[in-house]
Chain A
Amino acid sequence: MSMPFYVAPEQIMKDRADYARKGIARGKALIAIQYSAGIAIVAENPSNTLRKISEIYDRIAFAGVGKYNEFDQLRVSGVRAADLKGYQYSRIDVDARSLANQYAQILGQIFTHEMKPLEVEILVAEVADEASKDQLFHIFYDGTVLDERKFCVLGGDSDAIYSRMKESPLLAHLDTALLADVVQLCRNALSGPDRQLPIEECEIAILNRSGDRRAFTRLDDTEVNALVQG
């Protein structure tokens, strides 16, 4: 009978983290950012049918990067959890913080107990009546949750994109920024210095602060083109 080799827990965790990070780094990035009328989410996504951004509940959106089948499974679980909670209690009891915690539990559990971690990073965003109460939860492959302010970047090359975003003077007055301006900013940051990201490859959705029950809107091709042309 052969004995399994001893591997230090630190090594196991490091290997899993490297594996997940490599998977995520291969995928394309996305940015969520606050603006005057709510929250905009801009993703680099060549597909017009396999979505990275979607609606979870009235004021809550989901976005994922990495392995599509894995974050899509998480997305559907989120919709189920939110609809169940809204049915059993009330629609106003469904909140992003609770969803983010549940996602973190699942990702953390899979990271420590399964053979393979999920190769995803996800965002749970909630728009509130006031910009100061908007929430952007950035959840990592190992269950780490970050509560981000103003904007957040997920996916491959996110450090470089983050620093490009940081340089923008627009960040100082997002409360008056127009949708076209923040979309332009995100598109430039996603593109980088060596290329211009084609607008057809931008998936854009917004959470509108207008007070309508369902705040989530996905912009269609004509709306996206109108934004770019001003």
Chain B
Amino acid sequence: MPFFTPGDHPGASFAELLKRVGIDPFQKHLTESSTHVNFPHATTCVALRFADGVVMAGDRRATSGNVISHRSMEKVVSADKFSGVAIAGTAGPAMEMIKLFQLQLEHYEKVEGQLLSLEGKANQLSMMVRGNLPAAMQGLVVVPIFAGYDLQKGYGRLWDYDPTGGRYEEREFVATGSGSVHAGAVIKVGWRTSMSQDAAVRLALKSLWEAADSDSATGGPDTLRGIYPIVASITANGWERIDDSTLSRLVEELIAEHQERNQEV
């Protein structure tokens, strides 16, 4: 059990605690060759605001070059009860970053006895992305998006990051990963202020559908295996994942919509 003297303790920071006990989760000893290896990559994730909070969604595919390395990856996860994080980029460091981020928020909450503010959480993630910069320079880029419900302000907020840890709050939506151009365009066209949750979920699904249609690294809904994108809403009641039966129904409606469109031609 680490027992620190007062004035010499790592405070509520889990990352600092790891350093103090001799564990450094961010590898800084990579060789140049690492860029030439095809590590699994995670791709498209989106988040958009609606009337009562935010909706986050991400596809399930991970690719290594032109090979599909994983079909049911979970890139959108809850960071804590009132926030979620979605990650695009090299899967290994991305998953490690998510794990550390979740732990950091819980660690802070337990040590301090209260939740970190949403702004504080976004800032923490920013520091972790910056911590990964040496690896990013060698090709192991991780670019997250962060969204949550701000309990103090009473509305949903979302943030976009760049590989250097730059943090940009957006008012409407954010998209990250290889399919983000396509997904972002769909959301940009369909987004309305104070949308309902149902409309926001449908728009998020549609954006991933279109991204999968145009970007080979983004996976579409896999009805054969029953693998659907991960979609979740975060409101004053906290994180809630939309279940697969609802998603399967929405995907069927989306397919019907497309078939109708094609018949008209």
* A residues lining the B interface (CB < 8 Å): 51, 54-56, 73, 76-81, 83-84, 86-88, 99, 102-103, 105-106
Contacts and interface: CB of A to CB of B under 8 A. Distances in A.
B171 interface: no
B1 A81 contact: yes
Contact of B3 (A55, A86, A106): A106
Interface in B104-128: 106-107, 110-111, 113
A56 B107 CA distance: 9
B107 A78 contact: no
A84 B17 contact: yes
Interface of B: 1-4, 6, 9-10, 14, 17-18, 21, 23, 99-100, 103, 106-107, 110-111, 113
Contacts of A84: 2, 17-18, 21
Nearest to A214: B106
B113 A76 contact: no
23 contacts: A51-B113, A54-B110, A55-B110, A56-B110, A76-B9, A76-B111, A77-B1, A77-B3, A77-B4, A79-B107, A80-B2, A80-B107, A81-B1, A83-B17, A83-B103, A83-B110, A84-B17, A86-B103, A87-B99, A88-B23, A99-B1, A102-B1, A106-B3
Contact of A79 (B21, B23, B110): B110
B116 to A, nearest CB: 15
A133 B174 CA distance: 47
A81 B2 contact: yes
Q: Rank and list the top 5 A-B pairs by shortest CB-CB distance, nearest first.
A: A102-B1, A81-B1, A79-B110, A83-B107, A80-B2
A124 to B, nearest CB: 12
Nearest to B10: A80
B1 A83 contact: no
Contacts of B100: 87
A87 B19 CA distance: 13
A103 B4 CA distance: 14
A54 B99 CA distance: 23
Contacts of A105: 1
A190 to B, nearest CB: 23
B1 A80 contact: yes
Contacts of B106: 83
A103 B1 contact: yes
Contacts of B14: 83, 87
Nearest to B81: A214
Contacts of B2: 77, 80-81, 84
A87 B18 contact: yes
A77 B17 CA distance: 11
Nearest to B14: A83
A28 to B, nearest CB: 19
A123 to B, nearest CB: 16
A55 B9 CA distance: 20
Nearest to A87: B103
A186 B215 CA distance: 63
